[in-house]
Chain A
Amino acid sequence: MKETKSEILQGTLDLMVLQTLEAMGPLHGYGIARRIEQLSEHAVVVNQGTIYLCLIRLVQRKWIKATWGTSENNRKAKFYTITKAGQKQLKAEAEDWQRVSGVIGRLLQLTAGGKTS
């Protein structure tokens, strides 16, 4: 039960990170976490550390790559960039996501409709 939940979360987190990097260009871990919080208007409150587990996974799959740089407060930071393979993956996952969410959306409406009638 617990596992399934984290799995779903994990998959969504991957998608969110990829999309953030695609839209915003190179970012470090803090930047990514912050962007996701802002965009979701704090609806998705990730434990910020968890971002890094997601990042290492994506790096190892070669969907994003990391380079050392300097953060805005002049510290050594790793900046992540989406790769070609990552973009492809993002596209595929985004389509999947949209299809599924569309289906879910319709399903929920149908259920609601069934109830009222």
Chain B
Amino acid sequence: MSYLHRLIARIAAWFRRAELDRDFDDELKTHLSLLVEQNLRRGLSTEEAMREARLSMGNLVSLREKHRDTRGLPLLDTLLQDLRYTFRFLRRDIGFAFFAILIVGLGIGASAIVFSVLNTLLLRPLPFKDAERLVWIANLKSIPEQTTQVGHILDAREANQSFSELAAYFAYYSTGDLKLTGAGEPERLTAVPVSENFFRVLGVEPQAGRVFSEDECRIDGPPAVILTDALWKRRFASSPEIVGQTLQLNGRPVRVVGVMPASFDFSSSFTPGSRVDLFSPFPLTKETNRMGNTSAVVGRLKPGVTLESAQAEFHLLGQRLTTEHLSDRNEYQPALSSLRAHVTGRVRPAVIVLACAVAVVMLIVCANLSNLLLARNATRQKEMAIRVALGAGRPRLIRQLLTESIVLSGAGAVAGVAIAVIGTRVLTELDAFRIPLLSSVQVDFGVLTFTVVMALVTGLAFGLVPALQVPAIRVNETLKDSNRGSVGGRKHNWIRSSLVVTEIAFACLLLVGTGLLVRSFLRVLDVDLGFQPERLATLRIDPGGAESSTEAKRNAYFDEALRLVQNTPGIEACGLTDVLPLEGDRSWGVAGVGQVYDRENYPSAFVRIVSNGYFKTMGIPLLAGRDFTEHDRASSEQVIIINDTLARRLWPGQNPIGQMVTQDGGRRVVGVVGGVRHVTVEQESGSEMYLPIRQTDDFSAVELVVRTSLPEETAGTAIREALKPLDANLGATEFRRVQQLVDKATSPRRFVVMMLAGFSSFALVLAALGIYAVISYSVQQRTQEIGIRTALGASPGSLQARIILETLRLAAIGLVIGLGGSLILTRSLSSLLFGVESYDPTSFIGTVVVLIAVATVAGYFPARRASQIDPITALRSN
């Protein structure tokens, strides 16, 4: 108890120290006067009495100091002293301070940015209520979208014991499904159809209005939509009156029943890099069951149920449902994963690699600053010696030096936070990047805490080595100034050289990693997509209600649209498709007529509904047979075009042209085309088939694709003008370049490569600085030696060569360590590599060349200075 009292009293006393000092002075004065009086009474002279009194009180100055120490917080007092001293020291060399703060600032800024990404993607819960109990329930029998048939969802919902609720959204919505007309510019909007309980399961509430009612989630229920916050702000100026009003969507009146809050960003979690404007009701009924595998499923685990037990239950459930519905449903093989794993799992390795890279950068930063501080402290030896002579103890000096380095890193951290705030803001704007949750990356409390810890650790890390050099100071020698760069200097050099070697080794590691990923990225860009994205543009032109009512009207609409666009100047080719590459996929089972497959091995293929001219426009090569023509209509023979993979699968070693497939009661294969990378750029194309758009109504979107020589700005207007007779309400803003789709698909990779390239450049600059500093220092220390050598006839050239060789020796040691480490560590990169091996010689050799070049340049300047040393001046100087 009494210790606690004492601590509180000490803190209180520290704040009242001026007042308490005065009190104590009063007390001492009284004491002295009483002593003097007593001495006078003893018969001493006034002078004697006062002398005696002072003698029995002891040294008053030191007493006051001791009193202050006993009473207050001496540690804080010395800390403040240290800080005052530090600021004086930093002001004296503002250049050094600026430089050091800049280096730490960049390092901590980069770490804070990476940490905020890591925090958002891997540490913080997803932006849903109790997000750790949300589970993604994929169907492994539906590739690539992992969707489940509605009937299975309904049965699983009834039968399962693990989940309190299962919700679903329709995964095959596409960009611009709904056309908004009425007040304002017409615009295509993207709506995600969701089940009635979807928002409830995720635990999100609308900020205005309500979620869908059961009535609205019936087939042919009252049409309703819920707006996203972004659309509400952009299109409706955040007006709360919008709730309850009707919008014209695809020519139909639809009531707005609610607005979701900004914190609920569907796309950033489920479909990163795309835009979602609205939510519409998705009925889970026998009608939607007939649509096949349609739904992405999210469940909320009951309390106490583990993911493993739920997976076990669903495994059996899937087998049972599949066998019970062999004839009337698709297969169901549920695979459960936490929603977080589903959302961020794919980018997880990349984020971890970035985190490791930034940690390496920080190590280089520390090594570099250690080196800088060592160099500075070398010039402060005399000052230190004087302080020691005046009675500063070793701990006090070490503390002083650590205070300096922590102040530097603290100032760097402030700069770093500023960099991180700007950096994260830039990241959130990168909506072209297909990285989940990127829009919610921010500098929050967690990041700030991280930065503070980082600043302390960094300050200690780079300050420790220089601070521990303090005991090496020998007062006498240093003050007598008799050091001729002897033993002490050599020891310093040893430490500094190993710091530089460390820097080079780490920089080497980063460069090899970056090299591997850059080369992978280039390989990805080099991939033959199966189509030529350059100069390709696309626009949604779904037929309206009237045009799509009958097949004849629909086909007339297509004919007219293609004719109008084809006749536009600057349009080289045009065609129609329902799905663009890299935008989404569905697959159907398909077999040659007469072929028998068991259920496990039944072939399936991605389906695209296209018009004549599509292959030519996209640059997809026709390998055999013919393209569709405008005469492939309902009245003519049912035809199909397949890709070479499907041809080999169905009729290995035979001519596929003229063969029949089971599709739609029999379609004749009229052509074979090359494969297209539809799912990801990295993934080979699978089996594909194309149906003529005039022979089916099984499509939910119509994209016009054009190859044009016109620049982007005029092409949109030109197409809109051309199509005016057909549709006066086309928005020109919805004109998209296909290259953008490709860029988006490679964007996560580009993101990592850009970040890593930044880190590596920074590391390289730091390593170069480190080399330069060490070599300069050693040249300066050996001025006399060099002077003597010159006097004895060493040529400037040989001196330069010697020093550059010394530089290269350091670089070589660093490289050997770094390359060895790289060989081991790059193996863990393999999941991120594409088309290169983890021991890719080009990356390794490239790194060696770059680092040796940088080391040579960094060593060249001090070497030249050394060769210009005038022997006479050198020998005269001390």
Contact = CB atoms under 8 A, between A and B. Distances in A.
A48 B2 contact: no
Contact of A56 (B56, B57, B70): B70
A29 B27 contact: yes
A60 interface: yes
Contacts of A29: 27, 31
Interface string A18-56: 000000000011100110000000000001111011001
Contact of B34 (A53, A57, A73, A85): A73
Contacts of B71: 56, 60
Contacts of B2: 61-63, 85, 89
- The binding surface of chain B is classed by DSSP as helix
A52 B67 contact: yes
B6 A57 contact: yes
B56 A53 contact: no
Contacts of A73: 33-34, 37
A49 B60 contact: yes
B30 A62 contact: no
Contact of A52 (B5, B10, B27): B27
Nearest to B32: A30
Contacts of A71: 30, 34
A77 interface: yes
Contacts of A72: 34
Interface residues of B, number: 30
Contacts of A78: 23, 27
B626 interface: no
A5 interface: no
Contacts of A48: 31, 35, 56-58
A49 B34 contact: no
Contact of B70 (A33, A53, A62, A85): A53
Contacts of B23: 78
Given A60-B9, A61-B2, A28 B30 contact: yes
A30 B37 CA distance: 12
Interface in B1-58: 2-3, 5-6, 9-10, 13, 23-24, 26-31, 33-35, 37-38, 56-58
Interface in A79-117: 85, 89
A85 B59 CA distance: 32
Nearest to A70: B30
A75 interface: yes
Contacts of A63: 2
A47 B9 contact: no
Residue of B30, B33, B63 with most chain A CB atoms under a 10 A cut-off: B30
B65 to A, nearest CB: 11
Given A30-B35, A48-B31, A48-B58, A76 B5 contact: no
A16 interface: no
A48 B57 CA distance: 5
A74 to B, nearest CB: 10
Nearest to B9: A60
Contacts of A76: 26, 30
A32 B693 CA distance: 109
Contacts of A30: 30-31, 34-35
B652 to A, nearest CB: 92
Contacts of B302: none
B58 A77 contact: no
A15 interface: no
Contacts of B38: 34
B66 interface: yes
A26 to B, nearest CB: 14
Given A52-B67, A60-B71, A63-B2, A47 B34 contact: no
A53 B38 CA distance: 23
Given A30-B35, A62-B2, A77-B30, 14 more contacts: A28-B31, A48-B35, A48-B57, A48-B58, A49-B28, A49-B58, A50-B63, A52-B24, A52-B27, A52-B67, A53-B66, A60-B5, A60-B6, A77-B27
Interface of B: 2-3, 5-6, 9-10, 13, 23-24, 26-31, 33-35, 37-38, 56-60, 63, 66-67, 70-71
22 contacts: A29-B27, A30-B35, A34-B38, A47-B56, A48-B31, A48-B57, A49-B59, A49-B60, A50-B63, A52-B28, A53-B63, A53-B66, A59-B9, A60-B5, A60-B13, A73-B33, A73-B34, A76-B26, A77-B27, A78-B23, A78-B27, A85-B2
The list of the 10 closest CB pairs from A to B, nearest first, reads A60-B9, A61-B2, A49-B63, A47-B58, A30-B34, A49-B58, A75-B30, A60-B6, A77-B30, A30-B31
